[in-house]
Amino acid sequence: MEIQSKLLGNQQVNPDTILTFPHGIPGFEDQTRFKLFHQEGSEIVYWLQAVDSDDLTLSVAQPSHFNINYSFVLTDEEEQLLQLESADDLLILIVLHKQDENHTGKPTIKGSIKSPLVINSAKRIGLQKVLIAIEQSITLTEKVSEIDVLEA
């Protein structure tokens, strides 16, 4: 099938790779079908393109690239919606957005960390989990420098 995107142009996609968000994404409740594309030249950013709206493309990324690790519980309703059989099938993404608070022309990239996208990658069903009461914790990991020692 072919989908149209103002950002990505016309794209041929396999209908079996379409992600379904049965309730849409907050702010875009009328958009329930999306395709995930990898951004060329980036190992971090992906594009989440609405199948039925050529002008809705969200930048998303795996939170682990920003050292963000989630620990939350899905409600019974969320588990049923996702048709979740194994936690290994979960894909967590955060929506990214540019913000130029000081109007310097050098926007910063920010992520919606309080509202991750939760996707059952096996069934290709997703939802946006809005986290109301969150507690942040910091984990420090020592970075070990490798030293190459050559014997003379």
Average pLDDT over residues 74-82: 94
| 111-122: pLDDT as tens digits | 888 899 999 999
**Average pLDDT in the 131-147 region?**
65
pLDDT above 90 (res 109): no
Confidence of residue 146 (pLDDT cuts 50, 70, 90): low
pLDDT-derived band of residue 138, with 50, 70 and 90 as boundaries?
low
Note the pLDDT of residue 152: 42
Domains, in order of start, for the chain: 2-128 (2.30.290.10)
**pLDDT at position 51, please?**
97
- Higher pLDDT, residue 125 or 144: 125
Taking residues 29-55, what's their average pLDDT? Answer: 92
Buried b (16+ CB within 10 A) or exposed e, 121-136: eeebbbbbbeeeeeee
**More confidently predicted of 146 and 21:** 21
